[in-house]
Amino acid sequence: MQYAGRYVRRPPIAQYRFTKITDGEIQFWTKDKITRRRVTISCTPQEFVARLAEHVPDRYRNAVRYFGLLPPSRRRALQMGCFSC
């Protein structure tokens, strides 16, 4: 719990996406990638915690933060205008 507790400060879901929170139900919206529409999902608190736990990396694992054109190793080169570095 101590390890997972530090991820509560910056959860993988934004607070404005929650539409309803009660003792027995949590509703939030997400984007459906197939239909390209906003969909409301309803689940119990236990199901929500299980979904949230999937996004917490295992102990001693690092999450991928930047890739492609914006990795930390390329930021300095991009700021200086060196695109072939």
| pLDDT (tens digit per residue) in 26-69 | 999 999 989 999 999 999 999 998 888 887 777 776 666 655 66
SS3 77: helix
SS3 61: coil
DSSP string, 13-52: S-GGGEEEE-SS-EEEEEEETTTTEEEEEEE-HHHHHHHH
| Alpha carbon distance 22, 5 (integer Å) | 22
pTM of this structure:
0.56
Q: Would you list the domain boundaries of the chain?
A: 2-80
| Alpha carbon distance 74, 82 (integer Å) | 9
DSSP letter at 69 equals T
